Every structure is written in structure tokens, then in C-alpha cells.
Copies of this chain bind each other. A is one copy, B any other.
Amino acid sequence: MSLPLKVGMFGGGTVGGGVYEIMEQTKKELFKAGGVDVTIAKICVRDVNKKRSFELEKHTTMVTDYDEILEDDSINCVVELMGGVTHAKDVVFKALKKGKHVVTANKALLAQLLPEVKSLVAENAGTTLGYEAAVCGGIPIIHNMQGSYVGDSIQSVMGIMNGTTNFMLTKMETEGADYAAVLKEAQDLGFAEADPTADVEGHDVQAKIALLAKLAFGQDVALDKVPCAGISNLSSTDFACAKMMGCTIKLVGTAALGESKDKLAVFVSPVLVPLGGPLASTRGPGNVVVVRSENLTESVYAGPGAGRYPTANSVVNDIVRLARLGAAGTPPPFPLERPLELEPDFEACFYVRVTAADGLGVLSAVGAIASEAGVSVHSVLRGGEGGGGGGEEAGVVSLVVKTDSCLRSQVGAFVDGLKGKKVATADPVVMSIL
């Protein structure tokens, strides 16, 4: 039931160029193998005169006017690889309304406008939406979430979904380097952008974990409902303490069902993860997603999370699946809605690093404030004095409190108490421990 596709592609940059290269290189073999018939007929870019990384074949035209693709009734599939939300929204929405299939790598668009996109796909019968490349570039996590847990019950999805920060955290772990130094190195190497906010503050992961939460639990999760902590306040002290606890630190997006199965916690934060496990073993720019479920206990998907060919590979998988199996053969893009309550609070053991003025009473003050907040202290480590973190002064001490299992909100109260009573001389660093 193959479906010949005439594709209009928006974007001919990093990913778009890769898609074009792969499709042109493999199209003959794909046709032989399964009657896959894909022609990229038009590519829309901002500037047709820009030098491209690929050779344009005769059957492809470069255009700048969106309607050359959107109003062309012979084009039945739009591939959106421009990025951004404003223009991409115009393109994707209009394509679906015109009954065209859509493949996109745009996590920002999907995470922000998920309900609208969902309705448009549903209303325009026969259209499908592929978005494999939108989460963890080269890892086929979307397709596996759609098809590998159909009789299973997912308990949690957790992942390292940002290569830039994982590159930085790996450097901090292995070289004992400090945050500012690794950020500069990542920027020099082109791994991090001049304005690294979206990566280091976790917003990129926020969009991805919202999409995975939708797939795993059927729950629309608005981005502003996903608490998000980044890595910019981590120091080498934290890595040294993590190591003493048999852990390292990763920026993790988590979506987890509560025990009662009616509450869902979705959040992004740095987490202490045990050495030797799949999260700790994911190094450099690699990504990984760990799914816990009733039937499979734990399943792990790891691979490159970004980059030209990995991301393009996922886009090509989406295109070819559609061409090979027809619209009927592509799985429903989103699962059924489920009545869950978003729960901003969650239970865990926590790591709290408190920077305090050194002195005799510090420990008892910290202990008293913990008790007031209902936080039971499991142990206290003393981090490096003075030079422990970024810019700590002499006479200042780092205390690392490991809590027993408690609620995130209780740790919040503990931290507020530390600040309110001026025991903490800087914002405490809070991480959950896996």
C-alpha cells in the first residue's frame, strides 16, 4: 500500500540539507526495496542564492514563496525544517488544512501548540504527522513510544535529551572543571550557542519531556506547567560530592506517574544518577531515554541527540514510513487523552548544597530548619571550603545535605528557611537523587 510522495520541504539548512542528501542517495534502492517513491520537488528557503551543502537535482526547484508549495496540489507531503514557531506554524497549519501530510523536526512548535496541531490532524482526515526528529534527534524514541508499549503500562520516562549540557556535565565530571570554563569550551567548539540559555536553563529539555509525557501518558502538558531547573549553578564541589555518593550529575527530563496512577509529575532538573547505570553511562553529546513500564521493567534507547545526519535520518524514517506503508500504515501520532492530574510535587531523596558562613552553630541551625520543614536529614557532607564552588569566599563553607525520602515542596520550604534565616549565604543547589 505504498503512497507516492511529492514533497515540498521548508528549510535547506543543517537538517534539510541532510534530508535532501540522504533521500537522493538512497531513493533508487528504496524504490527497489519497497516501491518507495519519494520526490523532493521543491525546497523553500529564505535566500535561493545562498551556497548550499548539496547539489540540486533537476527534479527539485528552490523557492522562497510558501504558497509555491502550500498551494501546489500535486505536493502531498510537507517537510518543515525551518525552525522557529511563527512561520513554521503558518506552514504546518496550512499544509494540514490543505490535506497534506506533515513531517517536522520542530519541538518548539509542537510543544507550544500541541492541542492545536492535534486537532488539525484529527479534523483533516487522512493527514498524518511525523515528528520523530523533534525529540532526541537520531533516537527513534517517538516511534517506539507509539508502538512498543501498546499493551504495557508506562510508569516513567526519563532522559538526557540535550547534547550541549551533557557535553558540559561530562567535562565537569571527568576533568573536575568548573561551569564557566566548560561553557566557554562548549561555545568555542560550537556545541553551545552564544546565548546558551535555552540549553543550560533546561528549556530545550522542557519541550521534549512535555512531548514524551504526551506520548507516554496521553496528557497534554503545557510548558509553563513543567518546573525547570538548569545547570548553571552547579560547581565542581557538586561533582566531587556526587562521586562520594557513587553518583554523577545529569540534566534529566522526567515524566513519572505517582503510585496512585492518577497524578503525573513532569519536570526538568539536574539529578544525581548512580554510576554504572544507563544515564551516567551516557557521555558527551549523547542522548538517552529510559522507560520504566510494567511489562518491560526498564528499556533504554541511546544514540546521538542532534546533528545533521542523525536528525535527518529520523526525518527520512518518517517520510519513508509514510511512502512505504501509506497513511494507514503510519501509527496515530498521539495517544488517547487520559484524565491525569499534573502534580508539581514529587517524592525523592534530595541533595541540597548549602553555602553558609563558617562557624560553630551552622550544622545545628541547618538541622533545625530541616526539621521545621519536615525534612529528615540522612547525612551531611562537608564540601570544599573556600574554593569549593564558583567564587566562594574564604570563611564560607559548603554543607551537602542528603535528605531521606521527602517531597520536593518540603525541600522548597527547607531552602526558604535557610535563606529566610540567613543561614545560607547564597541560593542552595537542590537536586533529586535517583
Contacts and interface: CB of A to CB of B under 8 A. Distances in A.
Interface of A: 1, 22-23, 25-26, 29-30, 32-34, 36, 138-140, 143-144, 147-152, 276-278, 281, 283, 288, 294-304, 309-310, 312-313, 316-317, 320-321, 324-326, 328-332, 335-336
A378 B297 CA distance: 43
A1 B330 CA distance: 10
Given A140-B144, A281-B278, A326-B328, A33 B321 contact: no
Given A143-B148, A278-B281, A335-B33, A310 B297 contact: yes
A147 to B, nearest CB: 6
Contacts of A320: 150-151
Contacts of A312: 151, 295
Contacts of A309: 294-296
Nearest to A275: B276
A58 B297 CA distance: 31
3 nearest interchain CB pairs?
A1-B328, A329-B329, A299-B303
A295 B304 CA distance: 10
A151 B303 contact: no
B316 A324 contact: no
Contacts of A139: 299
A30 B151 contact: yes
A157 to B, nearest CB: 14
A336 B31 CA distance: 11
A295 B317 CA distance: 12
Contacts of A34: 332
Contact of A151 (B26, B302, B325): B26
A303 B313 contact: no
Contacts of A140: 144, 147-148
A150 B325 contact: no
Contact of A33 (B22, B317, B325, B336): B336
Contacts of A30: 150-151
Contacts of A36: 150
A328 to B, nearest CB: 3
A72 to B, nearest CB: 24
B324 A325 contact: no
Nearest to A32: B336
Given A299-B138, A302-B300, A312-B295, A328 B325 contact: yes
13 contacts: A22-B152, A25-B151, A30-B150, A30-B151, A36-B150, A138-B295, A140-B147, A150-B316, A298-B304, A299-B302, A300-B302, A302-B302, A325-B330
A325 B317 contact: no
B304 A301 contact: no
A329 B332 contact: no
A321 B278 contact: no
A329 B325 contact: yes
Nearest to A276: B281
